[in-house]
A and B are shown apart, each in its own frame.
Chain A
Amino acid sequence: MATDVPAVKLIGWYGSPYVHRAEVALRLKGVPYEFIRDDPINKSELLLQHNPIHKKVPVLLHGDRTICESLVILEYVDETFDGPPLLPVDPYERAMARFWAHFIDQKFARPFWMSFWMCEDDEHKEAFVKEAKGNLAILEEQLKGRRFFGGDAVGFLDVAACGLAHWLGVIEEVSGVTLVNGDEFPAFCKWAKAYVNDDTVKQSLPDRDELLAFFSGNKEIYMALARATLHK
């Protein structure tokens, strides 16, 4: 083992599934790291210096290298460190994993978020719920016959979809909106349970009760944001 192994540090905010993506990737690869907890309301000089463009977390510091954007970090961790591969080996399977991760972050994210936080009586809410459920059905199809998106073990796409496994239930409880049920989405529900119970994943999942309190506390903010971004 080299004596001069560059230190790995991860800057993150409490409760962020994007930060969890980076943490779980490091743990799956067995990479020791220091977690630097930042505050989104009071962003540190360290964060602003290392991510001046987006000013967001996660930010991975590896020696003198800085890597931003959670999916970029996942691929960097996969390519840099030894340990089980996060992305499949076959180029076509890799393309599929990247496609679905992209789907989750782009097409899937907005209607999903808006379904929860739009007011009950807002005329747009129903349309968002319909779209969110349509997207969930698409993911359900992808999971048929598989324990994880990656196959037998947690992989890149499972990590990318982590918000749906752990945060989803919390957000449903806080918002009072239920999108997922075992009848409509059985494979999805099984996957979510398998993901949050994985031994490595567990270590970097925020405690559910704490997360619940955190989201409850921010409910008004999320609802205001949803109203404000309706026509964007």
Chain B
Amino acid sequence: MAGSNDLKLLGMWASPFVLRVKLALSLKGLSYEYVEEDLRTKSELLLKSNPVHKKVPVLIHNGKPVCESSVILQYIDEAFAGTGPSLLPVDPYERAMARFWAAYIDDKMMAAWNQASKAKTEEEKAEAMKQSFATVETLEGALRDCGKGKPFFGGEDVGYVDVVLGGLLGWIRANDELQGVKPFDPERTPLLAAWAERFWSLEAVEPQMPDVSKLVEFGKMLQARQAAAGEGN
């Protein structure tokens, strides 16, 4: 079906944001060409397609680029509305809730994790971890209250929030080894822990997920690089 629905994804194997898009495309059953970018020498195509941020993922559909993972997910859902399951629900209020939680994951939860990784002193680290954990607990609450006992944030089936959070699962598992922290501890956040196992083992998901041992290696390399550079940003 080349030509009418030509899809190309510019990505990087370790990026959780790229993974979100891969997951969405897989769940919708859409075929695409994947281009692995070397982020230290970005391709002309990447720079031309995302001049504002110069980042991956970029989805190029019939030559037109879409950037920012959450924007791409919604685009896939709307442009391919007739193909495969919908990521976002039909009801406007449920859609608003999905968008709210997706924004929470990116703006609050990830921001807290980033702070934790930048912490220099033990004290800073402890405080940052506490903040981080508070955001995870809030998300556990969302799954409990909005999910109402259903297997996914999207209900009976995977939806937008599941994909947004699911993209982070590789790094969540890798961080267990890298930082000795279980962000989705089965004792403290049992619903999220169960959700993570369930999501990872889905037929449309598992083949897309990164090799966690490779992420750990990559994470160690990044840590070493950061330490060598002296002060972090």
Residues of A participating in the B interface, judged by any CB pair closer than 8 Å: 53, 62, 65, 67-69, 71-73, 75-76, 79-80, 91-92, 94-95, 98-99, 102-103, 107, 138
Contacts and interface: CB of A to CB of B under 8 A. Distances in A.
A73 B100 CA distance: 9
Contacts of A92: 61, 64, 66, 75, 79
B92 interface: yes
14 contacts: A53-B104, A53-B138, A67-B100, A75-B95, A75-B96, A75-B99, A76-B96, A92-B75, A94-B75, A95-B72, A95-B78, A98-B74, A99-B68, A107-B52
Contacts of B78: 91, 94-95
Nearest to A78: B92
Interface of B: 52-53, 61, 64, 66-68, 70-72, 74-75, 78-79, 92-93, 95-96, 99-100, 103-104, 108, 138
Contacts of A67: 93, 96, 100
A4 B99 CA distance: 28
Given A53-B138, A94-B78, A72 B99 contact: yes
A69 B79 contact: no
A142 to B, nearest CB: 10
Nearest to A138: B52
Contacts of A75: 95-96, 99
Given A92-B75, A103-B52, 7 more contacts: A67-B96, A76-B93, A79-B92, A91-B75, A99-B66, A102-B71, A107-B52
A107 B54 CA distance: 13
Contact of B71 (A53, A65, A72, A95): A95
A76 B44 CA distance: 38
A95 B66 CA distance: 7
Contacts of B138: 53
Contacts of A94: 74-75, 78
Contacts of A62: 93
Contacts, number: 62
Shortest 3 CB-CB contacts between residues of A and residues of B = A79-B92, A91-B78, A95-B75
A80 B53 CA distance: 32
Nearest to A52: B138
Contacts of B67: 99
A65 B103 contact: no
Contact of A72 (B53, B75, B100): B100
A103 B95 CA distance: 21
B67 to A, nearest CB: 6
A73 B97 CA distance: 10
A91 B79 contact: yes
B15 to A, nearest CB: 17
Contacts of A68: 100
B7 to A, nearest CB: 13
A44 to B, nearest CB: 21
Nearest to B96: A76
A80 B93 CA distance: 8
Contacts of A98: 68, 70-71, 74
A99 B71 contact: yes
Nearest to B102: A72
Nearest to B77: A91
Contact of B103 (A69, A80, A91, A103): A69
Contacts of B72: 95
Contacts of A95: 66, 71-72, 74-75, 78
Contacts of A73: 96
Nearest to B104: A53
Contacts of B66: 92, 95, 99
A117 to B, nearest CB: 21
A72 B52 contact: no
Contacts of B70: 98, 102
A92 B53 CA distance: 18
A62 B92 CA distance: 12
A27 B25 CA distance: 37
